[in-house]
Amino acid sequence: MATAEPDTAPSAEPRITDNGEQSRFELHLGDALVGFAEYRLAGQRMTVTHTEIDPDYRGQGLASRLIRHALDSARVRELPVIPQCPYTNRWIIQHPDYVALVPEDQRPRYDLA
């Protein structure tokens, strides 16, 4: 992941885009890609498989913003979500208003029952 150095990083607001070609949501600060959340679409289901934030930018709530955006996108598109990514799974546990995105029969598997 190409990033800007933390002391020269742009102070811009995070910008999140859906890069459909790479099946991931990308979080940018200025021109720097500082994080992404990978997903797979299978039928009418989104499986979030991996979330990564550049180590220099961790601890700023960026992963949380990224996952909220990804899950809100799934909600708007009426796609059930499988939180295979451990971070995404923990995030949903901490934000119970998103549990409804996970199919009921999958919730016990992810400690969401």
- pLDDT-derived band at 40, boundaries 50, 70, 90: very high
Structure tokens at 91: 């995030």
| CATH number of the structural domain spanning residue 28 | 3.40.630.30
Separation CA 101–CA 78 (nearest Å):
8
Does residue 5 lie in a domain region?
no
Contact 45, 38 (CB under 8 A): no
Query: 54-111: per-residue pLDDT in tens?
Result: 999 999 999 999 999 999 999 999 999 999 999 999 999 999 999 999 999 999 999 9
Asked whether residue 21 is assigned to any structural domain, the reply reads yes
Domain that holds residue 76: 14-105
Domain count, the chain: 1
Query: How many CA atoms, within 13 angstroms, populate the side-chain half-sphere of residue 99?
Result: 14
